[in-house]
């Protein structure tokens, strides 16, 4: 049985569940105004090999339910803490 999220003092505990549709599996993180800088080396055969990548987020970051598009941004900090 899956443990669903409980909201206590505005913060979830346990498993995050979309209050609109009940989805507790698939979520989207959307960052606005992002600069991605990637460095590549070209190989002798003309192909490219990625060396490093850097991402700079200049705008807002939001969290959405991937099933119904409900905005769950109020839980974004909890989401970030639970990424392992």
- Splitting the chain (84 residues) into consecutive groups of 10 residues, what average pLDDT does each group show? 48 82 96 97 96 96 97 93 88
Please, are residues 75 and 81 in contact by the beta-carbon 8 Å criterion?
no
3-state secondary structure of 21: coil
Number of structural domains found in the chain = 1
What is the reported pLDDT for 11? Answer: 58
User: Which residues form the domain of 18?
Assistant: 6-81
What is the reported pLDDT for 15? Answer: 87
Query: Is 58 inside any structural domain?
Result: yes
Query: Is 1 inside any structural domain?
Result: no
What is the reported pLDDT for 2? Answer: 47
Query: Is 26 inside any structural domain?
Result: yes
Residue 65, Cβ density class (10 Å: 0-12 exposed, 13-18 middle, ≥19 buried) = buried
């Amino acid at each position: 049985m899956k443990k669903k999220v409980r909201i206590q003092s505005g913060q979830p505990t346990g498993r995050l569940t979309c209050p609109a549709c009940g989805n507790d599996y698939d979520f989207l993180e959307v960052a606005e105004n992002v600069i991605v800088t990637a460095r590549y080396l070209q190989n002798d055969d003309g192909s490219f090999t990625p060396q490093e990548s850097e991402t700079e987020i200049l705008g807002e970051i939001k969290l959405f339910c991937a099933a119904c598009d409900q905005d769950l941004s109020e839980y974004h900090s909890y989401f970030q803490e639970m990424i392992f």
